[in-house]
Amino acid sequence: MIETALFMLVGAIMIAAAAYDVLTLTIPNWISLVLIVLFPFLASAAGLGWHELGWHVAIAVIALAAGIAAFAVGAVGGGDAKLFAAVALYMGPLGIAPYVMTVALAGGVLAALFLVLHQPGIEEWMRRVPMLATIASRGAAIPYGVAIVVGGLIASTSSHLFTLASVA
């Protein structure tokens, strides 16, 4: 029961990250920090062992290093890098490949959507709706946090943590 509530809370916080990113092109640090702080509670409630816990942390550290490298070359924002690592913490060895693949696919779909939205006729139409006008005014900036959250929500079912929590 507690595992379900914790997973729902984690999902809600991830969705908040996506919403922040869409509206402001930033992901507040508190979101990544809350995800990190909630992990030990969910891991404990699901019965994750020390060995498995070590793998989850190692994967998150590697994801953070990859995110920092992507940030350094200007591929993603700092908030995206931190969110990617915080969500990777929940994936573990079984969920990391589906997570990375789903984030990449969702990012591609998101980029294609933004290319379509910035076509002259559509962009002119978007300027009539205040929220869409804000998005159109940003130019090519893509809220990649959306792709990270979509990838995390979809791939979480592949993670060992999710499996443990669902049978606990």
- For residue 160, what is the DSSP state? H
Q: What is the pLDDT of residues 70-118, one digit of tens each?
A: 999 988 899 999 999 999 999 989 999 999 999 999 999 998 888 877 7
pTM: 0.88
pLDDT value of residue 152: 95
Query: Which residue in the block uniquely carries the two structure tokens 């915080």?
Result: 86
Domain locations along the chain: 2-167
Kindly give the interhelix angle for 78-88 and 2-24, rounded to the nearest 10 degrees: 170
Query: Tens digits of per-residue pLDDT, 121-158?
Result: 776 776 677 766 666 666 667 889 999 999 999 999 88
Q: Contact 135/15 with Cβ under 8 angstroms?
A: no
Which residue in this structure is represented by tokens 């914790």? 6
- Give CA 90 to chain center in angstroms: 11
Q: Residue 156 has what DSSP assignment?
A: G
Q: Are 151 and 103 in contact (CB under 8 A)?
A: yes
The token pair at 106 is 């969702």
